[in-house]
Amino acid sequence: MSKDQGITQLREELRGWLADNVPPDWRDRQSGDDVEGFLASQREWLSKLVAGGYATPHWPKEWPGGGRLLGEQVAIFEEIARADAPRMSLFFVSLYHAAMTLMECGTEEQKARHLPAILKGEIWCQGFSEPNAGSDLASLRCKAERRGDHYVVSGQKTWSTMGQFADWCLLLVRTDSSGPKQAGITFLLMDMKSKGVECRPIKQITGDEEFAEIFLDSVEIPVENRVGEENEGWRVAQATLSSERGLTAVELTERLARSLWRLVSLVTAEGLETDRLDDEARRQIVDIASRIEGLRALISLLTVRRIAGMEAVGDASIIKLGYARILRDFTALGLRLRGMSAMREMDYVLGAGYETSNWMFDFMNSYQWNIAGGSNEIQRNIVSERVLMMPREKLA
């Protein structure tokens, strides 16, 4: 059987499995303030994906459903998105950032302790960004001092996705301030139940609480929970951040493409005001559809490059910038077409993404992508300096 035939067969099998297993009411269960419904829904979906062998196609072959070729992984992401299955928002950091960091840089003891637990529902968050160290992550100041077999950590982290629900945290700390900023960072695994850890959800403009800030007051973390050597955390962090490239964009873009009908339905719905049924609205829908197809083609090219081991610096930045702009324009058009009634229908779906048809929520939520995954400004700098080879401007 050829690779193409194998992927076609995989798609057919997965479509049948998804038809039988995607909960039809998952959006309702995750709506509004029903946090317990959200947690239960996410745990049930993870359990189904693990049992079906579709939760960890990017893990090594010794794990359930692991060892998939990159083309197969892409097919799985596309089909899950096309079926409008729940996002793995609660377990994204666990399945990708935490798991791939441990596999690449962790000790055998750390892998044995945490990887099976992740498949059973262990929740991880990321403690990287700080109030004054987000895009410039190397400027972090959360301090760790080694005392015997423990590090004592004090400081603050912010914008930690799902941090209020997490069992463990991937934590970057400052262990040396004498040299270059990147050279004094250490990577630790922190139990969120440790004494001195306080986690506060951040209420967003949408009413959602997807992020949290974490306060650390003399938290003791065993040295055995260090990943890599002391002061080499920057290298480990690059493995963490690179673990989501490409495949995440496949799912996000596919979900957006599959949501175009939501815009079309607004134009064709009965009772809409005539000033919203103009040629300009139709032109904008076609424009957005064309841009989504262009982004799909770009992601396909990136996938081919990755398979061939030829991924270029800046590929992920270009895709991220393209997605962020399309998403913002997509939701803004939906909001305009829906009109003032969108104000009365404002609601949110925990961890659902940006294609819920709650247009005011989707629009406001879309602005996260100006920052998420690295701010647009930083991504443009990467493209200009590393792809276009433009000189860095020196300020007078």
Domain limits, the chain: 3-88, 124-230, 245-387
275 phi and psi angles, rounded to 5 deg? -75, -10
As a whole number of Å, the CA-based R_g of the chain is: 22
Q: Which stretch of 149-163, 275-289, 339-353 has the lowest confidence by average pLDDT?
A: 339-353
User: How far is residue 353 from each of residues 29, 96, 214, 298, 361, measured CA to CA in Å?
Assistant: 14, 18, 23, 22, 10
Mean pLDDT of the chain: 87
| Residue 176 pLDDT > 80 | yes
Check residue 29 and give its pLDDT: 74
**Percent of the chain topping pLDDT 90:** 49
244: annotated active-site residue: yes
Q: Which CATH superfamily is domain 245-387 in?
A: Butyryl-CoA Dehydrogenase, subunit A, domain 3 (1.20.140.10)
Q: One of 79, 244, 251, 355 is an active-site residue; which one?
A: 244
* Cα 2 to chain centroid, rounded: 32
Q: What is the 3-state secondary structure (H, E, C) of 357-390?
A: CCHHHHHHHHHHHHCCCCCHHHHHHHHHHHHCCC
Which of 222-226, 273-277, 333-337 has the highest mean predicted lDDT (pLDDT)?
222-226
Check residue 396 and give its pLDDT: 47
| Residue 233 pLDDT > 50 | yes
3-state percent helix, strand, coil for the chain, nearest multiple of 5:
50, 15, 35
Range 54-73 average pLDDT: 91
| Burial of residue 256, with CB atoms counted within 10 A of its CB: 0-12 exposed, 13-18 middle, 19 or more buried | buried
Residue 172's H or E segment, with its range, is: strand 168-174
- Binned at pLDDT 50, 70 and 90, residue 274 comes out as very low
Range 277-291 average pLDDT: 86
**Which of the pair, 201 or 4, is modelled with greater confidence?**
201
Residue 217 tokens read as 């007051």
- Binned at pLDDT 50, 70 and 90, residue 248 comes out as confident
Domain 124-230 class? mainly beta
Residues in Cβ contact with 386 at an 8 Å cutoff, skipping those fewer than 6 apart:
313, 314
Check residue 276 and give its pLDDT: 52
The DSSP string of 122-168 is: --EEEE--BTTBSSSGGG---EEEEETTEEEEEEEEEEEETGGG-SE
Range 325-349 average pLDDT: 81
Please state, as a whole number, how many other Cβ atoms lie within 10 Å of the Cβ of residue 154. 16
Taking the whole predicted model, whether its pTM rises above 0.75 is answered as yes
